[in-house]
Chains A and B, each alone.
Chain A
Amino acid sequence: MIQFQSVSKRFPNGVDAVRDLTLEVQEGETLVLLGTSGCGKTTTLRMVNRLTEPTSGCIQIAGENVLDQNPILLRRKIGYAIQHIGLFPHMTVGENIAVVPRLLNWSPERIGARVDEMIAMIGLDPNEVRDRYPPQLSGGQRQRIGVARALAADPRIVLMDEPFGALDPITREQLQNEFLELESEIKKTILFVTHDLFEAVKMGDRIALLDEGRLQQTATPSELVEHPANEFVDQFLGQHRFHLSLLTRSVGTLLRADQERAFDGPPSATCLRARDSFVDALDMFRQSGADSLPVRRGRVLLGILERSALLDAISEVFGLTDARI
């Protein structure tokens, strides 16, 4: 969907922000650009919607070179959300969400309906927040609205630059979970920038780790954690390897495939989801005090997970990581 071909960016002050980057973001996946500050991840993101122009190389969206497109029209087709949110303080929440649809000349009725739909989608009450101004809202609400605004015109591609970076850890985790839930329904191609390893592992289908403008490794979170490509990746993971291994393994893998049946319990029942990590599962067992929990994917019951089976799996992971250290 998005292809970087030998893309480099040198700023006028002589800094090489991105060096010879070749990378492809698949349709529908969330690719996380991960790295320390100054590694070129934000520059990479900003070259997609031409807020920054590459010095050399080529970026294609669906086979079309972005440099051949009108930057204004290109940007209207791409969702954009950043850490500082940048909600317009002089516009109401509704007006903020309506910005891109308005730029695209949607009819007022369609815009109104879309605004309410988006506010409801991020879990807020349209009648309560539509006409309020951003400074009247909490940080978490503002950030949700920033995301809703990026999605308002239903772009196929969304660029997110540390969208949860400015939040406290609890609100951040809540928003990450909400966004994963939302993302599984809307299926966008997302390029997501973060410096937070745990956020990358949680949000990404794949992770591209950058250092000093060079791509170090592109891999799924579990591949990255299990098979670091080089010394730098290994160091970047640091002492978090065991924890990360638990985070990158989902409980779905612990079940035998032949136990599937329709889930008939109430939606509120304590349940694990198939993509929940070992850490999530451990938390759930601790909170519920149960010895076994049902695991579902949507309306399908995949099976029952025993607490002891989870603990066995965890100690096995510990054995693996321990052996490598």
Chain B
Amino acid sequence: MTTLIAFFDKLGPEMLQRTYEHVYLTFLAVVIATAIALPLGVFLARSSWTRFTNVVMGAAGIIQTVPSLALIAFIVLLFALIALPTLGAFPALVALVLYGLLPILRNTYTGIRQVDPSVLDVATGMGMTPHQVLFQVELPLSLPVIMAGIRISTVWTIGVATLCGLIGAGGLGDLIIKGLRSIQMDYLIAGTVPAGLLAILFDTILAWLERWLSPVTLSEASGEASA
């Protein structure tokens, strides 16, 4: 008990500060990634331009295969070449956004594509404009899948954001790096445990949101029909 009090006495304020930075960085990255990937996914799903779609999805996939540490390193080097800041939140944010794009892009694309074609046929046949079909039919029906993409992206970003401590972007990674350099277990724990808890917390909240947004019936009531 006393060790615990001593632990928080020593690291509590910094943990709070770093957690705040971590959440801030993650949140910003996911919002920007969504703002890019969601419209792009909708556009790709509705275009008949298959080759372009394959190129974009492929590129997003390749970014995903680059180890996150290497991605951050690449960005820093690239920014150094073109004289952009190589330290701090900006390069970190760019790396996180690139990394978070794919799940949202892929899920938006699949979500829109998996909407029953006969539903779309009737929507058009009854006189909805393409705009109305998108906002009243396609997006509501693919929302659970899109939300799942945002959830995956968020959890990944929380993890990758710890690496951003390396380039002085702050966040919980800062504590972990301090612990590693000075061989102090309490710093390591102060960085790792909140990062894990954050991931679990956001995963739970977003999973709940995803269920809440799903059309009631798709999950629970499909077997209930009677003649």
Which residues of A are interface residues toward B (Cβ below 8 A)? 46, 49, 51, 72-77, 80, 82-90, 99-100, 103, 133-141, 149, 159, 171
A125 to chain B, nearest CB (A): 13
A118 to chain B, nearest CB (A): 14
B contact patch SS: helix
Give the residue of A72, A74, A85 whose beta carbon is less than 8 angstroms from that of B118.
A85
Number of residue pairs spanning A and B whose beta carbons lie under 8 angstroms apart: 83
- Range for the number of chain B residues in contact with chain A: 20 to 34
Report whether A103 and B217 are in contact in the complex, using a CB–CB cutoff of 8 Å. Answer: no
* B16 close to A (CB within 8 Å): no
A185 to chain B, nearest CB (A): 23
Q: Once bound together, how far apart are the Cα atoms of A159 and B126, in whole Å? A: 11
A306 to chain B, nearest CB (A): 37
**Which A-B residue pairs are the 4 nearest by beta carbons?**
A86-B122, A76-B127, A84-B118, A75-B127
Give the residue of A51, A135, A171 whose beta carbon is less than 8 angstroms from that of B121.
A51
Query: By CB atoms of chain A within 10 A, which of B122, B128, B140, B226 has the most?
Result: B122
Report whether B132 and A80 are in contact in the complex, using a CB–CB cutoff of 8 Å. Answer: no
Report whether B217 and A89 are in contact in the complex, using a CB–CB cutoff of 8 Å. Answer: yes
CB-based nearest A residue for B124: A51
* B125 close to A (CB within 8 Å): yes
* B1 close to A (CB within 8 Å): no
Give the residue of B116, B120, B123, B126 whose beta carbon is less than 8 angstroms from that of A76.
B126
> Cβ of A72: which chain B residues have Cβ within 8 Å of it?
127-129
* B9 close to A (CB within 8 Å): no
> Cβ of B137: which chain A residues have Cβ within 8 Å of it?
88
CB-based nearest B residue for A77: B127
Report whether B125 and A51 are in contact in the complex, using a CB–CB cutoff of 8 Å. Answer: yes
CB-based nearest B residue for A168: B227
> Cβ of B221: which chain A residues have Cβ within 8 Å of it?
133, 135-136
Report whether A99 and B126 are in contact in the complex, using a CB–CB cutoff of 8 Å. Answer: yes
Give the residue of B120, B122, B132, B215 whose beta carbon is less than 8 angstroms from that of A133.
B215
> Cβ of B182: which chain A residues have Cβ within 8 Å of it?
none
